[in-house]
Amino acid sequence: MPYKKANGEGSVQKYYKNGVLKGWRTTITIGRDDKGKLIRKQFYGKTKLETIKKKDDYLNKSAAGMLPADEKITVQEWFKIWLYEYRINDLRPSTLERYCGIYKIYILNSSIGLKKLKDLKTSNIQSYYNILINEKNKTPNIVKTLNKLLKSGLNQALKEQYIIINPCNSVTLPKLPPKKEIKIFTVEEEKKFIKSLINHRNRALFILTLGTGLRQGWC
């Protein structure tokens, strides 16, 4: 039996709130819940044409299988799933710990983390990165690392058809500071340096560092 629309379904009507005209609204039925109750979805717009376009876009994506299975999932919820379901077995424990740290500091409960995954736009990410740089005094390296990780997580969401584009692809990242030129000793300078260490209590440590190139923080 062909589906019969409910009264008023698909029609576009003016939308009022507290007696004030807010725009236009239309409603469609998208299925039934586990109790057989109809599930309806509403679309809003400032104009009648905008409202119809939103409804048609939704129906076209639905027909093409491009809608997420769970439209309410947030960015932070998805990112946690991605870490602990998709990446937990292919990352070293130390790497997973570092990723979890980035998630807790920069994604969890942040302005982008609380957004629904399907609603996340490049402008949201760009605004957040600008705040991190200009107001939170974070370095370009931190933002670049965050974007790389977020982009990877969203690539998986793209494969799962939760989103149709990866908004990280279009952000403008801050420029990294120029690398400082590293000056090294000449052979003659090395000899003079070693000679000056004859009575130094850390002589062996300095010679080890000089000969191997070890840097602080590697151990």
* Domain coordinates in residue numbering, the chain: 12-63, 75-170
Tokens of 28: 């469609």
For residue 23, report the phi and psi dihedrals to the nearest 5 degrees: 150, -140
CA distance 169 to 122: 8
Q: pTM of this prediction?
A: 0.56
- Torsion sign across C-alpha atoms 79, 76, 120, 32: positive
Radius of gyration of the chain (CA): 28
| Average pLDDT over every residue of 128-146 | 95
Q: Are 163 and 120 in contact, with CB atoms under 8 Å apart?
A: yes
Lowest mean pLDDT among 33-37, 73-77, 133-137, 158-162: 33-37
pLDDT value, residue 216: 53
Report whether CATH 1.10.150.130 matches the domain 75-170.
yes
CA nearest 74: which of 153, 168, 170?
A: 153
15 bridge partner residues? 23
* pLDDT given for residue 61 in this prediction: 73
**Torsion region of 10: left, alpha or beta (phi above 0 gives left; psi -120 to 50 gives alpha):** left
